[in-house]
Amino acid sequence: MTDSLAFAHALLVERVSSDRRARSEDPNDPETVQAMQIALHLPKVNPPRRTDLLEAAARAVVSVCLAEEVATDDRWRIGLESWYGHLIRKVARRARNKAWEEVQAIPGVTIDAAGALARAFVPTAVSRVPAAVRKLQIHGTELPADDPGPVDPTVPLIVIDGGLSMTTGKAAAQVGHASMLLAAARDLAWVRGWAEKGFPLNVREVTSAEFRQESDRLGAVVVRDGGYTEVEPGARTAVACAP
């Protein structure tokens, strides 16, 4: 019997940990422009806390990358392989009401973090985003900062450079990238233990000075943005650390 997690983790490590310069896009070939879409559930009444939603997004992304379907569903695996092979883009979108319900049928994983809901989808070429996802708005994802309290020292921590003033949608993409890079950087035994618990993690937004300190920690996994939106190319946006 195939060890589904081992298969998915090996694929992630092989493709994401390889030379980033080998991944590219060709504007004349739309199939090379790949992205993972992320739906953020943002009802008008009683919206979630920003921190909780970011934690849900980060967990949803790594859940898609390490799902059982990577080993059992050719479309799931090929979607990830194509995405890993090109620039690893993510697009966060706002969803509510019927639109949120409709996208649950699109292949992906939904995570609930303290009532905040996010769904990450199997990546596709941007020209082939399913209609139910494509109609979700990219703008309008903003939520105010909150005070989430102390972190749980027993789970991974992802910190965001608050000095960059990223929107909630942009920050969701960055913490999602951080969670998958952390999984790629750790061995299978560690990842298996994390997966068995549902990929728990904490997200915190910190000052730029605190962010630099976290970036220098031994074993820290740093996300450097492509610079397509909101921040400069190569900017360090998020850092993931194992407990």
At residue 153, the pLDDT reads: 95
When divided into structural domains, the chain yields a total of 1
Distance CA 109, CA 121 (A): 7
- Long-range CB pairs of 225-232 (<8 Å, 24+ gap) are 225/174, 226/87, 226/89, 228/89, 229/170, 230/164, 230/166, 230/167, 230/170, 231/164, 231/166, 231/170
Q: Is the dihedral of CA 24, 30, 34, 37 positive or negative?
A: positive
Average pLDDT of the segment spanning 111-124? 98
* 222 and 239 Cβ atoms separated by less than 8 Å: yes
Structural domain range at position 204:
4-241
At residue 166, the pLDDT reads: 93
Residue type, 153: P
Q: How much of the chain exceeds pLDDT 90, in percent?
A: 81
| Whether pLDDT at 126 is above 70 | yes
Q: How much of the chain exceeds pLDDT 70, in percent?
A: 95
At residue 156, the pLDDT reads: 97
Distance CA 92, CA 119 (A): 10
Helix extents (H) in the chain? 4-16, 50-65, 69-72, 74-84, 97-103, 131-134, 168-185, 188-196, 208-215
Rg (the chain; Cα; Å):
17
Beta bridge partners of 137: 94
H or E stretch including 27?
Answer: none
Could you tell me the CATH number of the domain that includes residue 51?
3.40.1490.10
At residue 227, the pLDDT reads: 67
The mean pLDDT of the chain is: 93
Phi then psi dihedrals of residue 17, to 5 deg: -85, -5
* Unique residue bearing structure tokens 């980033």: 20
pLDDT tens per residue, range 5-48 = 999 999 999 988 755 666 677 777 778 789 999 999 999 999 99
Read off the pLDDT band of 49 (50, 70, 90): very high
pLDDT tens per residue, range 191-225 = 999 999 999 999 999 999 999 999 988 889 999 87
140 or 106: which leads in pLDDT:
106
Distance CA 158, CA 96 (A): 26
